[in-house]
Amino acid sequence: MNNGEKKMERSLRWGMIGGGRTSQVGYKHRSGALRDRTYELVAGAFDIDSERGKSFGVNLGVDKNRCYDDYQTLIEEEAKRTDCVEVVSIATPNGTHYEITMAALEAGLHVICEKPLVFTTKEAEEIKAFAEQQGLIVGVTYGYSGNSIILQMRSMIEQNKIGDIHLVEMQYTHGYAGNSQGDKDNAAQKWRVDPKIAGPTFVIGDLSIHTYYISKLVLPHLSIKKLLCDRQSFVGSRYPLEDNAYVLMHYDNGAVGRMWTSAVDSGQMDGQRIRIVGSTGSLEWWDSAPNELLYQPQGAPNQTLYRGAEYLDDLAKQNERLGILHQEGLTEAWGNIYLNIALAIDAKNRGDEETLSQLIYPDIDSGIEGVRWIENCVASADQGSQWVEYQ
Ligand code: NAD
C-alpha cells in the first residue's frame, strides 16, 4: 500500500506546458503529480494565451517570474537558473507534442507527454533515440493504466489464471460529442476534429489508445499480427476524421480481438471496458466500477475481486492507496503513473538501470506503440477497411 511516505530523496522540479485554466486535462496532471511530493511545480507556460497562463500559474502558487509567455521562453529562462526545472509535462493539443518534446529533450529535461505522443511512429522513434542519447526519460499519460486493479489483471494473466488467451474485447466510448455543436462551441472539441491539430484520427487516438495501452499492459507478450479497421464520421463535417470505429485484430498466438471506440454512443457518459477471455476463464474490468475486477473461472462461481483486499497480488497491493474501504478511481491511477515516472527519472539520474527495468509505467515504447496502433488503424480504414499486416 502506498501511504504517501517519501519514496525519493527530494522532489523533482517540475514544469507544465499547457494544461491551463480552461484545459480538460491539466488538473489531472497536477492532481497526479503533486500528491506524493515527488514533484514540486516550479514553472509553467500554461496557456496559448500568455496573460491567462501567467495569472493561472500565480493562482497555482508558482512564482510569477517563472510563469512564462511560451514554452520557448520557459526553456531559455529556466536554463539560466541553478534551481531550474528538470522535468516538464506537455498537456497541449496533439499537433504540438513533437516540437515541444524535442525542444525539452534538447534542453536536458525529462518529459511527460500527453497521448497520442505524436502523429507518426517515425517521429516517435526519433524521440526515443534522442531521449536515449540525452539520457532522459519520456513518459506518456494513459490515465487508467495506473489503476491497481488493472495491475491485478496483469498479475493474474501472468499466473495463468485464465489459461491460453483467446479473446480480447475492448471498448472506449462516450456520447457527448454526438453532434456538431461542440465542434464549433467548445475549444477542446474543435481541435480534436481538425486533422492538422488532432492528427490522422479523432476517437481512435483520443479514446481507444487508452484501452489499447491497457491491453498491452495486461498482455505484454501478445502482439497484433493483422488488423481491420472500419471508421465512420456520423457528424459529416468531421470527415476524414472518424467519430466511431470498429477494429478487429488477430494476434500472434491465434487470439482474436475487437475494439469499439466512439464519440457518438448516445447517452453513454464514459464507457471503457476490457474483457480478456482465456481457455479456462475470463477477466473483465469497466471504468464505471474501477475498484472491481470480475473473475470468471470456467466451471466455478464468478468472483468479484475488490481493490485493496488482502487476497490480491503484491503488484496490485503496492499500487493502492486507501485500503479496503472507500473507492479509488482515475485520480489515484494518475498518482501512480506520476509516481512511477518520478521513480524512473530518479533511477535514470542515478544510473540505476536495475530499478528502471523493474518499474511498470507508460514509457517511451508505450508512446510509440500507441502511435503505431493509430497508424495501422488508419492504414486499414484508408484501404477500404481491408485486413492489413500490423507494421
Ligand atoms: P484543451 O484544449 O482543453 O487544453 C489545451 C491547453 O493547452 C489549454 O490550456 C491551452 O491554452 C494550452 N495550449 C495550447 N497550445 C499551447 C502551447 N503552444 N503552449 C502552451 N500551452 C498551450 O485540451 P485537452 O483536452 O486538455 O488536451 C490536451 C492534451 O491532453 C491532448 O493531447 C489530449 O489528447 C490529451 N488528453 C489526455 C487525457 C488523458 O486522460 N490522458 C484526457 C484529455 C486530454
> 273 CA distance to ligand 1 centroid (A)?
24
> 134 CA distance to ligand 1 centroid (A)?
26
Ligand 1 pocket check for 367: Cβ under 6 Å = no
**Which CATH superfamily includes the segment(s) 147-321+369-389?**
Dihydrodipicolinate Reductase; domain 2 (3.30.360.10)
* C-alpha span between 281 and 284 (Å, rounded): 10
> 124 CA distance to ligand 1 centroid (A)?
19
> 391 CA distance to ligand 1 centroid (A)?
29
Q: What is the pLDDT of residues 19-37, one digit of tens each?
A: 999 999 999 999 999 999 9
Dihedral (CA of 155, 161, 166, 172) sign: negative
pLDDT at 343: 98
Which residue's CA lies nearest to atom 38 of ligand 1?
25
Query: pTM score > 0.85 for this model?
Result: yes
User: Which residue(s) pair with 286 in the sheet?
Assistant: 273
| Average pLDDT of the residues in 287-308 | 97
* C-alpha span between 273 and 289 (Å, rounded): 10
Q: What is the pLDDT of residues 95-149, one digit of tens each?
A: 999 999 999 999 999 999 999 999 999 999 999 999 999 999 999 999 999 999 9
pLDDT at 13: 98
Ligand 1 pocket check for 102: Cβ under 6 Å = no
Domain 12-144+337-363 has CATH 3.40.50.720: yes
What is the best residue among 24, 30, 214 to mutate for testing ligand 1's pocket, by most ligand atoms within 8 Å of CB? 24
Which residue's CA lies nearest to atom 27 of ligand 1?
93
Which residue's CA lies nearest to atom 39 of ligand 1?
143
Distances in whole angstroms, Cα of residue 208 to Cα of each of 35, 78, 200: 27, 36, 14
Q: What is the pLDDT of residues 171-184, one digit of tens each?
A: 999 998 999 998 99
Domain range list for the chain = 12-144+337-363, 147-321+369-389
pLDDT at 255: 98
Among candidate residues 316, 278, 253, 258, the one with its CA nearest the CA of residue 157? 278
